[in-house]
Amino acid sequence: MIQDIRLHGQIGDSIEFYATIAGKDINHRYFFETSSEDGKEYDRFFSPGNEFIIGDDGLTYNSNGGSFCEYMFGVEQPFRDLVKKDVLNRLAIFGTYYDEEQDKLTFTKQTSGFEKYETIFFNMHAVSNYYFFLHFDMQGTQEAKQERLLKKIGKDLKRNINIGSSNDTEIAKDILKDIGIPEAVLFLFKLINLPNKKFYETFRKIYTEKRTVTEEDKEKLKKLAEKYGIDQYQQERIKIDVMYKDLANKRIIDEYKDILIAMEKDVGGDGKALANPKLTRLRTLSVRNDIPSNLFDTLDSMILKGKKIVVTNEPDYIIETREILEGLFLLNQEDNQLIINDDLIRLLKAKRTSVEKRDRTFEGILLDTGRICDEKMKEEKDTTAFENFGYIVTFFDRYDATLAVISQLAFMEKVNINEDQVRSLLGNKKVFDDLKADFFKELFFDPILENNYLTYFGRKKIEYLLHGLEGVEKGESTLHEIVDNLYHTSREEAMYNMIQENVKGRIKTFYSELNTKEEQEILKREIAKDLAIKENFEEEIPDHIFSNVIMNIKKEAVYLHNLLPQIIKTKDAALREDFLVNSGLDRFYIEELEREYFQVNSLGEEELQKIRNIAA
């Protein structure tokens, strides 16, 4: 026997409708007519006690039932619907309204009304909306019938996936099944806005294929909107809905929504500060997918109702670290690239800053992240976060290994590296430079070369290493040449320090014995004899090293006997800094001279700190 009948009609060029009448013995039990009034045609559907008219301007109804549609993203939703992930559809029962004071639905007998098509597609779905009424035997008032109807079909109808796919036959079956009355006949009406549908399908095709909208596409959409008279509001809500329904976008936006809902439920407010890095992370991920920020702004407005998200009072590099690492747990998807080069660059810079500031917060976040990854893997059997975290940690391991070698070379004496270590540095250089051009230099060499306490020989070794590695990449140098240059520089550093120590030990008064070249030659021979006895040093003292020692000792004398007393007296910051920058003497070494000077002259420690802080 016939179970359902479907009728198709159209109002002008803009509105299309389908009427589905479903139930038992409907060939004898459904009624409709086409008529006209004042020159305007209309289609009237009716059963005892129910009437539904589809006219030129809108719908007129006097019946039980109501309306429903799929929620469009960004459309105002009751908070109770918003927090339930399985609620997909909007449902309104005729004669019913929500009483905010009593926090409940109120049913009335006023189940008649008129709705213009323009209003329907403005307040409900922009493309497709449903209306319905039922013919069935039920005792009681109209209010009681509507309340019973809602209780029977409401829960399932709001979660029905067939509404989004416009499967009218299945929707009708589901409603009749839920109503549970064998003799019931359903009158189901689907209204379609044809211009909006055309715009929706056009935009969806563009976005699905390109995941972005070019200037050419924008012009095409603009002309389409002008042709059909689609206002800006409808255009924007259609675009937002299409972008939201993209699977990759939907995961990100739903995650963002869940965090906002959790924040709103957090009465104490403590969760708001902690959630902020996660929200920021999701917005970062959205940029990669070309998801417009207004989708997130819409959610902020809908859920937080003007409340502000609390921002943590932490340094930017710590906030960025939390954002990226907490982002590992946001999305559960096997093929999602949560960590990209930009993330690694930001994390490595944050790690560098934490090392420079001796801030243990960074390592604490790292340990917490590792623990959570491990727990998630064990409890949920989900290795996604663990694998992404492991990927990050490999870069941190490379960072630590590289920094250790370069720092020792820069700041420690008698440190030599072999070809295997240089080869390892070269491999790490390629890895870091693959993230960003010249990132290896930016990450390791620039900070050290800018360090005021880098010694003369430390700088020399670091520059040799950097230029050597760049030379190997260009085929202009070899690993052996790098090692050899660094070895000779380290040996020169050791010789300088050894000669300086012995020269200063022999001089009784500052450079009084070093006025002439002959005096310097005599001193040089004496130092050579001492080194041969004390250090078993049989080589000839290089002239350039001995000359540098003598010159620097003279600079020390000038500073200690002339400039330092004047600086202490006048608090002349510029004079001290000028000498530190231009003398060529190591800053740390000068500070040691200052400390000895203050001790010998019985000057207080606080006075020493004053001259060191005057520049600040």
CB 94 within 8 A of CB 63: yes
Tell me the pLDDT tens digit for each residue of 369-416.
Answer: 888 888 878 777 777 778 888 899 999 999 999 999 999 999 888 888
511 and 592 together in one domain: no
Residues 414-418: contacts with CB under 8 Å, at least 24 apart: 414/490, 414/494, 415/490, 416/483, 416/486, 416/487, 416/490, 417/483, 417/486, 418/483
Residue with tokens 């959205």, as numbered in its chain? 286
Where is average pLDDT lowest: 128-132, 307-311, 460-464?
A: 307-311
Q: Give a yes or no: residue 486 inside a domain.
A: yes
520 and 556 together in one domain: no
pLDDT at 309: 64
CB 153 within 8 A of CB 136: no
445 and 461 together in one domain: yes
Q: Mean pLDDT over residues 164-178, rounded? A: 94
Please tell me the distance from the alpha carbon of residue 256 to that of residue 251, in angstroms, as a whole number.
9
Q: Mean pLDDT over residues 431-447, rounded? A: 95
444 and 581 together in one domain: no
453 and 554 together in one domain: no
Q: Give a yes or no: residue 399 inside a domain.
A: no
pTM of the model: 0.63
Q: Give a yes or no: residue 478 inside a domain.
A: yes
Average pLDDT over the chain, rounded to an integer: 85
Number of structural domains the chain divides into = 3
Tell me the pLDDT tens digit for each residue of 180-222.
Answer: 888 899 999 999 999 999 999 999 999 888 878 889 999 999 9
pLDDT at 29: 64
Place 616 in a pLDDT band, splitting at 50, 70 and 90. very low
Tell me the pLDDT tens digit for each residue of 329-377.
Answer: 765 544 455 678 888 999 999 999 998 888 888 888 888 888 888 887 8
508 and 548 together in one domain: no
**Of 178, 193, 208, which marks where a domain is finished?**
193
pLDDT above 50 (res 570):
yes
Q: Give a yes or no: residue 449 inside a domain.
A: yes
Percent of the chain at pLDDT > 70 equals 91
Higher pLDDT, 466 or 37: 466
485 and 568 together in one domain: no
Helix, strand, coil abundance in the chain, percent, nearest 5:
60, 15, 25
pLDDT at 486: 92
Please tell me the distance from the alpha carbon of residue 121 to that of residue 597, in angstroms, as a whole number.
86
568 and 450 together in one domain: no
553 and 502 together in one domain: no
Q: Give a yes or no: residue 495 inside a domain.
A: yes
Q: Give a yes or no: residue 209 inside a domain.
A: no
Domain around 521: 409-525
Residue with tokens 């005892």, as numbered in its chain? 48
**Of 135, 169, 193, which marks where a domain is finished?**
193
Where is average pLDDT lowest: 59-63, 131-135, 273-277, 366-370?
A: 273-277
Q: Give a yes or no: residue 401 inside a domain.
A: no
Name the H helices within 180-269. Answer: 194-210, 215-228, 232-245, 247-265
Q: Give a yes or no: residue 325 inside a domain.
A: no
510 and 561 together in one domain: no
557 and 576 together in one domain: yes
Q: Mean pLDDT over residues 101-118, rounded? A: 90
pLDDT above 70 (res 557):
yes
Residue 316's identity, in one-letter code, is D
pLDDT at 333: 47
Tell me the pLDDT tens digit for each residue of 275-301.
Answer: 567 787 777 777 666 677 777 877 887
pLDDT above 50 (res 572):
yes
Q: Which 3 state secondary structure label does DSSP give 117?
A: helix
CB 274 within 8 A of CB 239: no
pLDDT above 60 (res 537):
yes
Please tell me the distance from the alpha carbon of residue 268 to that of residue 607, in angstroms, as a whole number.
51
454 and 562 together in one domain: no
pLDDT at 511: 47
Q: DSSP state, 302?
A: I
**Of 467, 502, 525, which marks where a domain is finished?**
525
Higher pLDDT, 575 or 223: 223
pLDDT at 85: 83
Please tell me the distance from the alpha carbon of residue 211 to that of residue 204, in angstroms, as a whole number.
10
